[in-house]
Structure 1
Amino acid sequence: MPPATPRRTVLAAALAAATAATAGTAVPATAAEACADRETCTDEPPGHAPAPGLVDNRFWSTYTDWRCGTPAGTRAVSGHRPGLVIDTPAGRTDYTDPHTGRTATWEYARWTSPVHTSTAPATEVIASWNADTPAGTWLQVELRGTYGDGTDTPWFVMGRWAAGDADIRRTSVDDQSDGKASVWTDTFSVDDPASGLRLVSYRLRLTLHRTPGTTLTPTVWRLGAMASDVPDRFTVPASTPGPGHELVVPRYSQNIHVGQYPEYDNGGEAWCSPTSSQMIVEYWGRRPSADDLAWVDPSYADPQVCHAARSTYDYQYAGCGNWPFNAAYAATYPDMNAVVTRLHSLTDLETLIRAGIPAITSQSFRKDELTGAGYGTSGHLMTVIGFTADGDVIANDPASPNDAAVRRIYRRREWENIWLRTKRYDANGKVRGGTGGVCYLYFPDRPTPVQRKALEAVGVL
């Protein structure tokens, strides 16, 4: 069965129509004197003149990064994996969960990043984060930017997130707008890119919440965003194939879960994103514990896919396809990093594959546009695991009848175009959107030198 039409596509069409605190210890102040004066702790060196580009990634993850932000009750921690935790709460706030109607009081602390000037004045921005949120804690990520005309956006909520679902219901916040740009699900988008308006800089704000009177805290290891200005295009230039290489990645089918857990979008066709995420989580040697899976019906095959679906479900989006929520899920496993970004070409993917890093890609296509798929889709996630000697794409496609059938080979030219384009024609001849090269990258906190070089080459590290 082909993947169902995702709600992301419906929202995009609407837009078009509208035009642990113990993770480490604080480093003595003398070790961070360069950031003692926050007025001089800027994101770029003086005189920085960003070179134009299509995609810009900026992630805060080092001890210096956390020290260079503006804290309000937070504290940077060092150690094996530097992060940000609650120190002394800045205050208390009441939050009414829109999906349960329950109101609760939370202590909170905040951290605001320095202003980042994007090398790609952007029509879209997607944030992502890596964090631990013990029971009794959660976090919120916001973005505020400056347009090329000198005006500022309000603070837009990019996600309210917890690894579990007992304290709050993980949620995006739709229908945010300032009359120039909007936020739907996980993406900030300029309403009318043809006007020339672009977001030229932004900062992120992180709010950490905990149960009052406790010493609990989320720990955030990575926070950042991908800003992009990918031009409208129905086709993209063909890339030159590199050497063939294939990674051994677990194979899971989303379709064997049809009808399972209606409360998480009914399994099956709607679970391409968490199924793909689970494949790569396990490729890196991580998997949920027996306790994590205790809630799953023991008669179900691949219960870890059910767990991934529950752990990525966005109660506003009413599905498991929220891109940052999938990345955040992958990063809940020990020493894992995860980001949402855009790549430029299949050459970028080949660079990653040769370094041992598979990728999850988002694409949409008619049945006749991808030979061998046997279905059409307005939005689908696959795991790219390699390339043949001729340069064709080897993908673990979760839209398969069973696990054994998941490994597919797709024609390079067809696959490249359906992934990288931003415009397409649907089966009725209507113009629809494409993702323009969106992918999730999951990788260890301490990649090998070869892996680090590959990640740097695609602009993630």
Structure 2
Amino acid sequence: MRKHMSRRAVLTAAGVAATATVVASRLALANETTGKAKAGAEANVEFHGWRSAEQWGQGEAQGVIVKTDGRVGIVIDEAADVVEYADPHTGETSEWEIATWTSPVRELEFGASQLIASWNVDTPAGSFLKVEMKGRYQDGEETPWYVMGVWALGEDDITRTSVNDQSDSRSAIEADTFVIGKPDKYQLKSYQLRLTLHRKPGTDITPTVWRTGAMSSFVPDRFEVPATEPGVAAGVELDVPRYSQMIHEGQYPEYGGGGEAWCSPTSSQMIIESFGRKLSPEDLAWVDPDFDDPQICHAARYTFDKAYDGCGNWPFNAAYAASFEEMDAIVTRLNSLADAETLIKAGFPVITSQSFIEEELDGAGYGTAGHLMTVIGFTAEGDVIANDPASKDNDAVRRVYKRRQFENIWLRTKRKDANGKELSGSGGVCYLYKPTDKEWPDLPGIGD
């Protein structure tokens, strides 16, 4: 049985340390159906973000100002400090001027067990961004400032990376996700995000952060989710390019080696191009000319997370998508296929994360511990039309999957492998990308 193994899934199965083992076993506990908390609701999920001049003005700025000409964002005005950054992967230490923006405390209406941050930023050469979060538990105790990602689109200044070995006695960072180990005992009741903008000393270079936010959530464990009936997108199929990850097997081992490792960037590139954003020949000049679809190699390179040792970091894929001209991107969760249908009807594909054994998804022909594919439409009967990059070639990418099967493997939090071992599911994780001149439908958890 073929498996698209992510490092997240491997850690969940094996465990790496006392705290991380507990946390990893709960990795998908929050089968969070994206949305705001509702009294008596089975799932509690919220996405909250900052992107307008008014919203940026609500935070605490040290050396940062709001840029309002063109696309609104925050930039370095005057450096607040000079710090040393030791790159954990190269061993090199260098000095950087920094400025920071810290969000207001975001109070939650429920106790959350997970949080995933997102950011959209331009990082010209000579700059990078560090994103952190700090939470408060229901008893008033606080987490440390956890690093959620060290990001630059380019590779010349720092190594793009998540940060391993971050935990306290109650929670930990699992690659790109804040997870509480015992959510029946502890919950997250509020959080802040902190953005540290870096630039080379003595220059006027600056990152420009257009959007940041976080999805926080709690949902009880479940092996099955309620079924939905075909809805507004029955018979709707969006025009999305079809790319196979499998034709890249063995390519660029320094970026994961293609094949089963590249589902996330392949899915991202399909959606980016569906909105008319293309890479130039200059962008792709580094790719071996004998390789087909060089843009997939490019997407893998520029989403690669050195600490994760792969291209499956969820916020890194969103940040990559947002690096294209006038693009927005977030990582969140959805309630059901009904919400996905609303997005499809409005013209927005949905990149979904799921894990399953081969017998649970007719027509897939494989099993996976973690795989990304793209929902591009629904048949007249309501079944899912997906661009599944785990296909032998581009022509085979378009698949039709049974509605009930797909909905359950995507939205559940718990599952069993072929040997009956209990494992976790993604709980409805998805990437949402769009041009800035368009708005997502008014669904819970998408607006900010």
What TM-score comes out, normalization by structure 2 length?
Answer: 0.93
Task: Determine which of 307, 310, 325 is the counterpart of 1:334.
Answer: 325
Matched, 1:8 2:33: no
Report deviation, 1:185: 0.5
Question: For 1:251, which of 226, 242, 247 is the aligned residue?
Answer: 242
Identity across matched positions, percent? 60
Please name the residue that 2:260 is paired with: 269
Contact 1:361 1:383 in 2 (8 A): yes
CA contact (8 A) 2:255 2:304 kept: yes
C-alpha displacement at 1:306, in angstroms? Answer: 0.3
- Following superposition, the deviation at residue 12 of structure 1 comes to 2.6
- The AA in structure 1 aligned to 2:118 is S
Does 2:148 correspond to 1:158? yes
Q: Take 1:376 and 1:270, find their aligned partners in 2: how far apart are those partners?
A: 14
Q: Where do residues 19-98 of structure 1 align in structure 2 (5 Å cutoff)?
A: 51-52=38-39, 54-98=44-88
Out of 182, 191, 205, the residue aligned to residue 216 of structure 1 is 205
Closer, same or farther: CA 286–3 of 1 in aligned 2, 3 Å? farther
Residue 32 of structure 1 is matched in structure 2 by none
Q: Is 1:17 matched up with 2:21?
A: yes
Matched residues in 2 for 1:184 and 1:377: separation?
Answer: 19
Hey, what does 2:220 align to over in structure 1? 231
Matched letter for residue 140 of structure 2: G
Output the amino acid matched with 1:18: V
Tell me the amino acid that sits aligned with residue 191 of structure 2: Y
The verdict on how the C-alpha distance between 1:351 and 1:101 changes in structure 2, with shifts beyond 3 A counting, is same
Partners of 2:158 and 2:304 in 1: how far apart?
A: 12
8 A Cα contact 1:254 1:272, kept in partner: yes
User: Contact 2:52 / 2:72 at 8 angstroms: preserved in 1?
Assistant: yes
Contact persistence 1:421–1:436 (CA under 8 A): yes
Q: Which moved more, 1:53-62 or 1:346-355?
A: 53-62
**1:291–1:119 Cα change, 3 Å:** farther
Aligned to 1:460: 446
Q: Equivalent residues in 2 for 1:83-162 (5 A)? A: 83-162=73-152
User: Which whole-Å deviations, capped at 9, do the CAs of 1:136-171 have from their partners, x for residues lacking one?
Assistant: 000000001111111111100000000111111100
Local SS of the residue matching 1:271: helix
Matching residue of 1:176:
166
SS for the counterpart of 1:312 is: coil
Matches of 2:315 and 2:111, distance apart in 1: 21
User: 2-side partners of 1:366 and 1:50: how far apart?
Assistant: 32
2:431 is the alignment partner of 1:440? yes
Candidates 320, 339, 353, aligned match of 1:362: 353
AA aligned opposite 2:275:
W
Q: Could you say what secondary structure the match of 1:143 adopts?
A: strand
Q: Kindly provide the amino acid, as one letter, of the partner of residue 216 in structure 1.
A: I
**SS, match of residue 338 in structure 2:** helix
Given that residues 3 and 399 in structure 1 are in contact (C-alpha distance below 8 angstroms), is that contact kept between their aligned partners in structure 2? no
1:11 CA drift (Å):
2.3
Which residue identity lines up with residue 12 of structure 2 in the other structure? A
Q: Where in structure 1 do 4 or more consecutive aligned residues deviate above 4 Å?
A: 49-53
- Residue segments in structure 1 that go unaligned for 5+ positions in a row: 20-48
Q: Within 5 Å, which residues of 2 pair with 1:362-441?
A: 362-441=353-432
Residues 382, 403 of structure 2: 8 Å contact kept: yes
Residue type at the aligned position of 2:272: V
Give TM-score scaled by structure 1 length.
0.90
- CA apart distance, 1:289: 1.5
RCO higher in structure (CA 8 A, sep ≥6) = 2
Three-state SS of the structure 1 residue aligned to 2:299 is: helix
In structure 2, do the counterparts of structure 1 residues 16 and 373 end up closer, same or farther at CA, with 3 Å as the change threshold?
A: farther
Aligned to 1:318: 309
- CA displacement 1:184-236 (0-9 Å, x = unmatched): 110000011232x1101101000000011000000000001000102200011
Q: Tell me if structure 2 keeps the 8 A contact 1:54–1:230.
A: yes
Counterpart secondary structure, 1:225: strand
Cα distance in 1 for partners of 2:69, 2:106 equals 26
For residue 184 of structure 2, give the secondary structure of its aligned residue in structure 1. helix
Q: CA–CA distance in 2 between the matches of 1:131 and 1:206? A: 11
Deviation at 1:50, TM superposition (A): 6.7
CA distance in 2: counterparts of 1:135 and 1:324, whole angstroms:
20
Residues 348 and 458, structure 1, Cα contact 8 Å, conserved in 2: no
Per-residue CA shift, 1:338-372, capped at 9, x if unaligned? 00001010000000000000010000000100000
Structure 2 CA distance, aligned partners of 1:366 and 1:123?
26
Letter in 2 for 1:292: D
How many residue pairs were aligned? Answer: 426
Aligned runs of 1:339-350 on 2, under 5 Å?
339-350=330-341
**Backbone CA RMSD of aligned residues:** 1.4
Cα deviation, residue 68, structure 1: 1.3
- Residue 280 of structure 1 pairs with residue 266 of structure 2: no
What amino acid sits opposite 1:215 in the alignment? Answer: D
Helix, strand or coil: the match of 1:139?
A: strand
| TM-aligned CA distance change 1:432 to 1:78, over 3 Å | same
One-letter code aligned to 1:17: T
Instruction: Select 1:304's aligned residue among 265, 272, 295.
Output: 295
Give the Å deviation of 1:17. 3.3
Alpha-carbon distance between aligned partners in 1 of 2:37 and 2:309, rounded to the nearest angstrom = 38
Note the alpha carbon deviations across 1:419-450, whole angstroms, 9 max, x for none.
00000000111000000000000011121xxx
Q: CA deviation at 1:16?
A: 7.0
How far apart in 1 are the matches of 2:110 and 2:293? 41
Amino acid at match of 1:101: G
Deviation (angstroms), 1:2: 3.9
Q: Which residue of the partner structure matches residue 36 of structure 1?
A: none
Q: Is the 8 A contact 2:20 2:172 kept in 1?
A: no
Of residues 194, 197, 200 in structure 2, which corresponds to 1:205?
194
Give the whole-Å Cα distance in 1 for the aligned partners of 2:417 and 2:86. Answer: 40
Deviation at 1:276, TM superposition (A): 0.1
